[in-house]
Structures are given as C-alpha cells and as structure tokens.
Amino acid sequence: MKKGKLLVFSAPSGSGKTTIVRHLLAQADLNLEFSISAATRAPRGQEIDGKDYYFISIEDFKKHIKTEDFIEWEEVYRDNFYGTLRSEVERIWALGKNVIFDIDVAGGLRIKRKFPEETLAVFVKPPSIDELKIRLKKRSTESEDKINMRIAKASVELATAPQFDKIIKNYDLDIAKEEAYLLVKDFLKD
C-alpha cells in the first residue's frame, strides 16, 4: 500500500484544535481524511459512533491492546482510553488520502516517533490557561470536575510543545486556521 502523509494536531483540550482540524478537512486540495479514534467515553452532544469516534467498551479496548491493534493509545483521563487503530490509518491510505489526527500530545509524539518521515506534528497553543478555562466553561459539555481535570492536564501538556515540529498560537482563530492550512500545504508539496 502506498503510504500517505500523517498530519498530527495535538493540544490541550479547549485550545481550538478540533475547529482547526475541521477547517483543514474542508479544504479539498489537501486530500485529508480524519483518523477516527477508538474511545471508551460516552458520546457527547451530537457525536456519532463511527464518525467522531468508534465508541467501544473498556473491555473491548483492552482486547485491542492485547492483540496490538493500536499504533498508539493513552488513558487520557482516568478510565477514558483513546487510541488509534492501525486499521484506521490503513483504511485512509488505501483511499489514497492523507491522515489527519486530533489526538493528545503523548499520542501525537508517539505517531511522530513511529513514522518520522511521513508525519508533521503540530502543537496548537492556547493564549493562556485562564483563557482555556473560559473556553471549556463556555463549551459546557463537561462537569466542573472534568473541566478541572482537563485544566490540570493542560499545564503538563503545554510543556511538551517544543517537541513538536511546529507550534501554532491560537490567539485569533481565523489566523490560526490560515496558518495551519499553509503549514500543511507546504508539508504535502513534496
């Protein structure tokens, strides 16, 4: 199978990376397909199984770990497992497309390590932890407890930014989207 490229977008929850990834997916010239992760949490809001995530039980997730089906996986929050199935990347490459990932920083760096030539790893930086808090509260899809858990993790994640190929500062979403587009376009050209 001909390998396509891998575009990893990682950031603390609430940094705007999902919006940026959606924007890139809408640009037909980039020929991107979203890597649907397996996850053990319950669907939120309008999320659809097989589109946003493959929602599976913890039991099934652990079976996939045992049979080494994951390229990477993480217990991102306690009892919330997320992972990239090898079959997902193969599915997208078989379509002749490039894969775009919206995953946490540890997973993103792991993909970069596994596929150093094929991967562009981008870190999306929020303006500040305070701003992140405001954004997560506005989204109001999680309980106060869960928001605090995400904020605590964000500080640790911010420290990993220098390990990424590129950093996008998301102070202004339109500028960040355009910056992301140009980075990806440039990476895909060779």
- In the complex, the residues that contact ligand 5GP under the rule CB under 6 A are 13, 37, 41, 72, 74, 76, 82-84, 102-104, 106-107
Residue 80, strand partner residues? 77
CB of 189 to ligand 5GP, least distance (A): 26
CB of 12 to ligand 5GP, least distance (A): 7
Using CB positions, name the residue nearest to ligand 5GP: 107
Smaller CB separation from ligand 5GP, 28 or 42: 42
Smaller CB separation from ligand 5GP, 2 or 143: 143
With 0-12 / 13-18 / 19 or more C-beta atoms within 10 angstroms meaning exposed / middle / buried, residue 161 is: middle
Smaller CB separation from ligand 5GP, 16 or 107: 107
Alpha carbons within 13 A on the beta-carbon side of 98: 23
CB of 104 to ligand 5GP, least distance (A): 4
CB of 190 to ligand 5GP, least distance (A): 27
Smaller CB separation from ligand 5GP, 38 or 184: 38
| Residue partners of 34: CB distance under 8 A and separation at least 6 | 21, 25, 100, 102
